[in-house]
């Protein structure tokens, strides 16, 4: 049951990152989950685990990490 909660929180973090970077409409729900989970790892490794935590992920560093990930991926893969 924990993994389901992690996937849901990862998807929400990825959706928030997509909305902040204006790439939310072009990303699917699978990429939202991946961006949230990978962004969470990036954010917590760079910024630590401060702030509220849900499903083992600190929200603010996770969102910042996901925003960085989405911005970098959209820069290299973005439509020209």
1-34 CB burial, b ≥16 within 10 A, e <16: eeeeebeebbbbbbbbbbeebebeeebeeebbbb
Residue 27 in any domain: the answer is: yes
What is the model's pLDDT at position 25? 62
Above 80 in pLDDT, residue 62?
yes
Structural domain that includes position 34: 2-75
Burial of 42 (0-12, 13-18, 19+ CB in 10 A): buried
Q: Is residue 80 part of a domain?
A: no
Q: What is the pLDDT of residue 78?
A: 67
Across 48-66, average pLDDT: 85
Q: How many domains does the chain have?
A: 1
Name the band, by pLDDT with cuts 50, 70 and 90, for residue 74: confident
Q: Tell me: the pLDDT tens digits for 8-23? A: 888 888 888 888 887 7
User: Which has more pLDDT, 26 or 57?
Assistant: 57
pTM of the model: 0.81
């Amino acid at each position: 049951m924990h993994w389901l909660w992690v996937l849901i929180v990862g998807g929400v973090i990825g959706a928030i990152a997509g909305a902040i970077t204006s790439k939310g409409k072009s990303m699917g729900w699978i990429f939202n989950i991946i961006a949230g989970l990978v962004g969470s790892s990036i954010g917590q490794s760079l910024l630590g685990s401060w702030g509220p935590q849900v499903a083992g992920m600190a929200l603010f560093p996770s969102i910042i990490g996901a925003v960085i990930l989405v911005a970098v991926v959209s820069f290299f893969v973005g439509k020209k």
